[in-house]
Structure 1
Amino acid sequence: MESDLWRRCSISKIILVAVLLLVLLCRVICKASPINCTISNDPLPILHEFYKPGDLVIGGVVSQVLFIYNPFIFNKEPTQTLASEPIYFTPRIAYKATLHLHSTQHRFVPNFNCDNRNSLTALIGGSFSKISVNVATISSRFKDPQLTYGSFVATHAAKAGFPFLYQMVPNENQQYKGIVWLLKHFRWTWIGLFAVGDDRGDRFLRIMLPMLSQNGICYAFITRLPKDAYLNELIDLILLQWKAYEFATKEKANVFLVYGEPPSFLALRMLQFLAPFIEMPPQGKVWIVTSHWDFASISIQKIWDIQIFHGSISFATHSNQPLGFQSYIQMVRPGWDNADNFIHDFWEQAFSCSLKMLEEQEESQESCTGEEKLETLPGTLFEMDMTGHSYNVYNAVYAVAHALHAIFKSISKHKRVVQERRLAFQNVQPWQLHQFLRSVLFNNNAGDTVQFNENGELLVGFDITNWLMFPNGSMERVKVGSLDPQAPAGKELTINNNQIVWHRSFNQVPPISVCNDNCYPGYRKAKKEREEFCCYDCVPCPEGMTSHQKDMDACVKCPEDEFPNKHRNQCIPKVLTYLSYEEPLGIILSILSICFTMSTGLVLKIYMSYKDTPIVKANNRTLSYIILVSILLSFLCSLLFIGQPGKVTCILRQMIFGLVFSVALSSILAKTITVILAFMATKPGSRMRQWVGKSLANSILLSGSAIQAGICLVWLSTYPPFPDVDMHSLHEEIILECNEGSVTMFYCVFGYLDFLAIVSFLVAFLARKLPDNFNETKFIAFSLLVFCSVWVLFVPVYLSTKGKYMVAVEVFSILSSSVGLLGCIFLPKCYCIIFRPELNNKELLMRRKMKAEISVSVRGAHGL
């Protein structure tokens, strides 16, 4: 019972020390502390220190005091007067503060403990990289665990040099990714960059700029913030900022990304004070700031307007509200411990009063009652909620306490005597704490898990905070999202757009920050010469291409079965097209084909009805029948070209067309040659009589048709026509057509028809003046002239048209040439048969023939 009681008391002492330090650090870090201003001739004074007795001591290095003194220069003799150039959060003082913690209390004797009591177990600090590094330089010599609650540039070399450093903040690189995701979320591609002018800023830009470029984000300007807020640097900063703001306003950069630490931010806030005098900075900008951002004010800044930062978005280390923290803050009073100079200075500057005795006060100062309410202070001076840095301190203290508790439990397993166990626990060396800190894992009373990774970084995410600045000086931070690096890919960043309050100057929410307006669908981006890739012109998509999204880098072709619409922002399915029976053109050609077929049938009927009359019997009646049947079939053949192409129709249409016309032309050639031979055979002693007869005509007909049939057979056996789809000839249509297969054979068929037509025309032209019955050779010559003219014109017209109109041209040519043959050869004879029957007389025919022969003989005699 006694040992358990002692153990609980010992652990209580540890927790008491941790909580007391927690209270101290939370009060001074929780954006609660304006910065004390002290004038001193000592360049490195330590005027503020606070100790509480205990078995074990956890040291803390906090940055809250502003010293004004001469900067160190070596080109002239040091001045003996006080200077007026401010240094905020001087990292150099961190060296001395750390050495103080390794000395006897209230005495500066580094590395020597006079009374061997209250030895340092762990150290918490500092608030930003430079101080953390300076503290680590000293603490690493003593192998003291250091838990930094602010930023720390975690380079590989830095981690190797400080193996006993633990970060209560996540790795900065995770924050960089979150910034890029945030910019992409709101589609901000044109931003201004502010980075502290030292190696941290260099590293930030070295990492950030490629990430921005890879994600399509450009910067309008880069401005370097002063690493220390000296007066001359502030003047240079103001001049630089004025140019940057002016440029940014012209270039439509509505988003400013700021990377810096408390000194830089305090310098940036100086612009607020000067804004009314130099007309800067412009209103209506979105400030995106890293987790180091702090709106804490020094006392002279507490009345400054901060409306330009209204609607800012910051990445803050995740924080929560421990139970009882609000109640404790409301109970804090300056008289709780007279040794605490931190809270005394804060109280006086925050409430503009004095806690000194009346005789020590200045005449203009009022006395503090000590009962002032912290909740009445503006948010830039004091926040009632626990902030990210304070929460880091809170977790750091408890991490050390849990590590000590683990050590105590480990000692208890091996020590039986209470006194020995107590002495062993008091003699724990700082370096022994590391193995327990590395494996620490617990849930704090705010419900969050505290655990370090293998690099000594806290496994925690970021809160995305929206800052609301009110005209009365009050301030509120609203959590609008989070960044969780451990979340599944694509879900690391969550943003609630509806919760974000933007600056009042924006007419559109969320604001737009682009170099130029978007290129809408139907256009593509074209880079401007000598400018960033985010600045571009919008060029319409070329013919046949589309862009269906905003800001596309290139237009794309539609699929083969689709085409761009009028605005070229969408692909529309192409329409299947062919010369059909349902459309007007197909209907007209079909009607003409049927009408001409019926007309040919009527002529054939007339010929058959008057087959024994002299006109019909003259010039080989059988050949006339064959020509009429061929013409009739040619009219019907045109119907094969109308309708959806199929395998059978594609083969038949060209074959039948070629064979039918070759038969017709061969018959005409046979008829013409027969006329010539018959005339020559009438001369006395002519040997041509043996050639006159049906055998010659049949031979000409069969041979002329057989050659064409042979060409068609070769065509069919090699590469015959087949149904095909043409997706490219017409912009908006898919053509269903017959692919001719072998183009050579196609032109061979047409070429042979042209050969027959030309030969027949020449023979008929030579025989046009012979005394033929009713001058049939003249009609044949004229019909062949029409036939050749049609097919000569067919070639250029056919090649210049596409789709169904190409087929229509061929159908029209077939009909036209067939009509030419029918009309020129047979209509005159039909006219005589029907309307001039008196001319269809054998005796009259013979008399006219004899007169013609005598006339020819006389002309021949005169010729001799």
Structure 2
Amino acid sequence: MQRAQKHQVPGSTPGLILHYQISYSSENPILNNKVEFPYVYRIIPNELSEVDAIMSIFKYFGWNWVGLIVSDDDYGYRASKRLEKVMRKESVCLDFLVRLKCNSYGIVKEKIQETIYNSTANVIMLFLSSKFAENINDFFDHDKIPKKIWIASSYLPHTVFMPLVPAFDTLNGTLVFSIQQGEIPGFKQFFYSLNPFKYQHDILFTNMWQLLFHCNLPTKTQVTYRYNCTGNESFDNIDLAAYETFDFRISYRIYTAVYAMAHALHELYGTMTSLPKSAESLQVYFKQWQLNALMRRVKFRTTSGDEIKFENNGDQPARYDILKHYFFKLGNLKRIKVGSFDASKSDGNQLFINNNASLWEPYFSEFVYSNCSEPCIPGYRKAKIEGKPSCCYTCVQCADGEMSNITDAQNCMKCSKYEKSNSGRNSCIPRNINYLSYEDQLGATLSFISIILSIMCAVILGIFRKYRETPIVRANNQYLSCLLLISLMLCFLSSLLFIGRPTQICCILQQVIFGIVFTISLSSLLAKTLTVIIAFNATKPGSKLKKYIGTQLSIILIIVCSLGETVISAVWLASNPPFAEADTLSDPDYIFLFCNEGSGILFFCIIGYMGTLALLSFIAAFLAKDFPDRFNEAKNITFSMLVFCSVWVTFVPAYLSSKGSRMVAVEIFAILSSSAGLLGCIFIPKCYIIFLKPELNTKELIVRK
């Protein structure tokens, strides 16, 4: 820590001494303790800020796997502790940590060498205090020099005084965060005006003069060079840049420290309005705490544009130049600025990197990657490897329905229920919509069949109207036959409501219309069968069934049966009606659009009600199949009911095990096949007799029989 300085007000008597310190070189963070050091300020950031600045370049290049070499002293321990804390926060891991001692030989030296050479990290940090800097040479074998990116603290320049060693080649291109450079007005002109004879008592300056110009000063007793200095030597003949003469980093800090104190004293002096302005009045009327309060308010800009102000802890905001160091065999050092760090920037862009490739070659660009594991490309996520640091991981592809569109994703994001992940798992795409459409081959085929069958019904209806006076049409109640044909035609057409994109109105109509028209069809068959039974039994002597012969009983029976179906449908629509639904869970690649029955119980009640009517029709037809009538259609109704019941018995398990368009196709197939069974079994034989066996369709034949 820099020794405290006593600042005396210019022009005052020796009595006014202010025990203040504005340090320009001490970076020890202990000075931030304002309880122990209330009057200490710094014109440079503390050493922990340098750690934060180094972490910013890690984030910039995405490095998360690094090595750390620190000196085995307070400086090294503070740096490693701070680094480990910040690295945990920024998800950066240490491949190794070496604490370098002043005398590391034998087995210890070999272990450290092996650690450095076998490291998989391409970035190694050096936090070495000045007395440890030279020891780094002991750990480099000329034949095993690792090619790494070296990032060092500001103490590294001390290594330029080492003799020619392999470390020069290894550390060439090292990045160093150095305190910011600035301009001191008039300093260069002052430097060029220096003369060794004017400052002949300054040993450092006279030695530097002899070293630069290779001459002897008469004040020196020992003759080293062949020529004597004249004092007229010119710096124009010397490559001062090689010696970083005008780097001005330390000098610039001294310059700003003096000006900071001057600003505080000037403001203190300005507060004296009614008091005599003299050194004695400052000593009498003002106390140290008053100057301390003014020091906290100091704020000004230098000629370089830097804003000078003190933080709450008495430090300056961290500002660093990122320098690339090149070491030469003659002991010279060349620095090239490749970036900067300014913690005072409020926009978050604190790190600036010069992307000029010539500044980074040849020691940097090929090792820009330093990670424990290969980055996980989009479509994959990181998975922890048991027993390894958090920076070491394996990449696992996102599951179906999940995606990641960034590199090194921690977790995969789930796609919305209307989307699926693409084959690369790096984006979500809309899921395919599945419903029975007219554009689909299956939908087009079913719609074509339903239209053909409905047209067939209309044609047969026309035939029955044309041949309505023939015995075969009159024999089985032509009015019920026409009603049955109309209801079957509506059954075929109702299947079209199941095709196309489901909507709320379609979902309601398809189930209601399907249930009612099918009930009318089955009621007509039951009425036809009962009419035959009643007509046969009414011919017996003393039968009371003669009064039921006619169409009135059939109409009442159809109305009553249809009313039962209508009541069930009304309760269904009032309580829990069908609605359009999208199934997003059954298949990850498809969204199934379908009509949800709402109430499955009432849906199967409708199916059960129709099944009951079909069973009654089957029983009645089976009982009347042997009645002696030429045109008795009881046998045909019996076969049609067998077809109908077979279709709907197999429908239930097939419907429950299907989904999407297949489920709708199963229901349409059941409607078409059962309706076609009724049409084929009952009306095709009659059409056969009408057109192909007209001799059987005569009144004389019936009377003769």
Tell me the TM-score normalized by structure 2: 0.85
What residue number does 2:244 align with? 383
CA contact (8 A) 2:133 2:158 kept: no
Q: Tell me the residue number matched to 1:78.
A: none
Q: 2:175 aligns with which of 313, 316, 322?
A: 313
Q: Distance in 1 between matches of 2:562 and 2:269?
A: 116
**Does the CA contact (< 8 Å) of 1:265 and 1:293 recur in 2?**
yes
Is 1:256–2:124 an aligned residue pair? Answer: yes
- Cα offset for 1:337? 2.9
Contact 1:310–1:502 (Cα < 8 Å) also in 2: no
Which residue does 1:636 correspond to in 2? Answer: 493
Matched, 1:245 2:107: no
Aligned-pair distance for 1:485? 2.7
Structure 1 stretch displaced more, 403-412 or 465-474: 403-412
Q: Does 1:287 find its partner at 2:150?
A: yes
Q: 1:205 aligns with which of 76, 80, 84?
A: 80
Amino acid at match of 2:122: N
Aligned with residue 675 of structure 1, among 532, 536, 546: 532
RMSD after superposition? 4.1
Q: Deviations over 1:706-735 (max 9, x none)?
A: 111110111222222334444444544545
Native 8 Å contact 1:234 1:267 kept in 2: no
> Paired residue for 2:253?
392
Aligned residue for 1:581, secondary structure, equals coil
Larger deviation: 296-305 or 545-554? 296-305
- Which residue matches 1:562? 419
Following superposition, the deviation at residue 347 of structure 1 comes to 6.4
Query: What amino acid is the match of 1:148?
Result: S
The residue type paired with residue 618 of structure 1 is: A
Q: Determine the structure 1 residue equivalent to 2:9.
A: none
SS at match of 1:795: helix
Distance in 1 between residues matched to 2:351 and 2:536, nearest whole Å: 104
- In 2, the alpha carbon distance for the partners of 1:824 and 1:499 equals 89
- TM-aligned CA distance change 1:468 to 1:165, over 3 Å: same
Pick which of 477-486 and 552-561 moved more. Answer: 477-486
Q: How far apart are residue 172 of structure 1 and its match?
A: 4.5
Q: C-alpha displacement at 1:601, in angstroms?
A: 0.7
The answer (yes or no) to whether the contact 2:275–2:281 under 8 Å persists in 1 is no
Aligned pairs (5 A) from 1:134-149: 144-149=19-24
Aligned 8 A contact 2:438 2:499 in 1: yes
Distance 1:481 1:409 in 2: 41
Contact 1:121/1:429, CA 8 A, preserved across alignment: no
Aligned partner of residue 360 in structure 2, secondary structure: coil
1:703–1:409 Cα change, 3 Å: closer
Looking at structure 1, the residues matched to 14 and 111 of structure 2 have their Cα atoms a distance apart, in angstroms, of 49
Within 1, Cα distance between the matches of 2:197 and 2:361? Answer: 41
Match of 2:29, SS state, is: coil
User: Residue in 2 aligned with 1:512?
Assistant: 369
Question: In structure 2, how many angstroms separate the alpha carbons of the residues matched to 1:616 and 1:403?
Answer: 122
What secondary structure, in the 3-state scheme, does the structure 2 residue paired with 1:182 have? helix
Shift in CA distance, 424/203, structure 1 to aligned 2, threshold 3 Å: same
Q: Does residue 276 in structure 1 map to residue 142 in structure 2?
A: yes
8 Å CA contact 2:175, 2:322 repeated in 1 = yes
The correspondence of residues 712-731 of structure 1 with structure 2, limited to 5 A, is: 712-731=569-588
Secondary structure class of the residue paired with 2:244: coil
Task: Letter of the 1:588 partner, please give it.
Answer: T
Equivalent position of 1:661 in the other structure: 518
AA partner of residue 649 (structure 1): C
Q: Cα–Cα, structure 1 residues 390 and 242, in superposed 2: closer, same or farther, change >3 Å?
A: farther
Instruction: Tell me the amino acid that sits aligned with residue 202 of structure 2.
Output: D
Task: For 1:256 and 1:596, locate their aligned partners in 2 and report how far apart those are by CA, in whole Å.
Answer: 84
Q: CA deviation at 1:570?
A: 1.1
In 2, Cα distance between the equivalents of 1:304 and 1:316?
Answer: 24
CA deviation profile, 1:15-39 (whole Å, cap 9, x unmatched): xxxxxxxxxxxxxxxxxxxxxxxxx
Worse overlay, 297-306 or 648-657: 297-306
Q: Name which of 581, 591, 596 aligns with 1:739.
A: 596
Q: 1:450 to 1:715 in 2, by over 3 A?
A: closer
CA distance in 1, matches of 2:662, 2:136: 74
- The match for 1:186 among 48, 61, 72 is 61
Q: Quick one: which amino acid aligns to residue 253 of structure 2?
A: N
Q: How does 1:135-174 map to 2 (within 5 A)?
A: 144-155=19-30, 158-174=33-49
The aligned counterpart of 1:20 is none
Deviation at 1:401, TM superposition (A): 5.6
Cα distance in 1, alignment partners of residues 164 and 271 from structure 2: 50
CA displacement at 1:357 relative to structure 2: 8.9
Structure 1: state its 5+ residue gaps: 1-90, 103-116, 123-142, 849-864
Distance 1:670 1:428, change over 3 A: closer
Q: For residue 598 of structure 2, give the secondary structure of its aligned residue in structure 1.
A: coil
Structure 1 CA distance for aligned equivalents of residues 526 and 240 of structure 2: 114
Q: TM-score, normalised by structure 1?
A: 0.71
Shift of 1:832: 1.1
- In the TM superposition, residue 571 of structure 1 has moved relative to its aligned partner by 1.3
Q: 1:834 to 1:763 in 2, by over 3 A?
A: same
For 2:428, give the aligned amino acid. C
Taking the aligned partners of 1:407 and 1:344, their CA distance within structure 2 comes to 40
2:462 partner SS: helix
Aligned to 2:200: 338
Q: Is the 8 A contact 2:181 2:321 kept in 1?
A: no
Letter of the 2:243 counterpart: F
Name 2:477's counterpart in structure 1. 620
**1:790 and 2:647 are equivalent in the alignment:** yes
Displacement after TM superposition at 1:824 (Å): 1.6
Please tell me whether the aligned partners of residues 145 and 164 of structure 1 are also in contact (alpha carbons under 8 angstroms). Answer: yes
Deviating more after overlay: 315-324 vs 198-207: 198-207
Alpha carbons 1:350, 1:377 under 8 Å: kept: no
The alpha carbon displacement at 1:309 in A equals: 3.1
Residue in structure 1 matching 2:668, options 797, 804, 811: 811
Whole-angstrom distance in 2 between the partners of 1:822 and 1:777: 14
The share of aligned pairs that are identical, in percent, is 38
Between Structure 1 and Structure 2, how many residues are aligned? Answer: 695
Name the residue aligned to 1:223. 98
Secondary structure at the aligned position of 2:323 is classed as: strand
Q: 1:401 to 1:338 in 2, by over 3 A?
A: farther
Output the CA distance in 2 between the equivalents of 1:540 and 1:577: 27
Q: Is the 8 A contact 1:640 1:652 kept in 2?
A: yes
Comparing 318-327 and 369-378, the one that deviates more: 369-378
| 1:440-455 alignment, distance < 5 Å | 440-455=298-313
**Residue 75 of structure 1 corresponds to which residue in structure 2?**
none
CA gap 1:304/1:540 in 2 versus in 1, 3 angstroms: closer
Q: Distance in 1 between matches of 2:19 and 2:191?
A: 31
1:847 to 1:182, Cα distance in 2 relative to 1, 3 A: farther
Paired residues of 1:647 and 1:722 also in contact (CA < 8 A): yes
Q: Secondary structure at the match of 1:386?
A: coil
Which stretch shifts more, 699-708 or 644-653? 644-653
Contact 1:730 1:802 in 2 (8 A): no
Q: Does 1:267 align with 2:135?
A: yes
CA shift for structure 1 position 244? 2.8
Cα gap change, 1:766 to 1:179, in 2 (>3 Å): farther
Q: Whole-Å Cα distance in 1 between the matches of residues 273 and 494 of structure 2?
A: 111
Q: 1:147 to 1:648 in 2, by over 3 A?
A: closer
* SS at structure 2 position matched to 1:147: strand
Structure 2 CA distance for partners of 1:610 and 1:433, relative to 1, 3 Å: closer
For residues 549 and 772 of structure 1, the distance between their equivalents in structure 2, rounded to whole angstroms, comes to 83
Q: CA deviation at 1:597?
A: 0.9
What is the CA distance between 1:657 and its match in structure 2? 0.4
Kindly indicate whether the alpha-carbon contact (under 8 Å) linking 2:265 and 2:291 is maintained by their aligned counterparts in 1. no
Quote how far apart the aligned CAs of 1:768 are. Answer: 4.2
- Checking the alignment, whether the CA contact within 8 Å between 2:582 and 2:591 is kept in structure 1 is yes
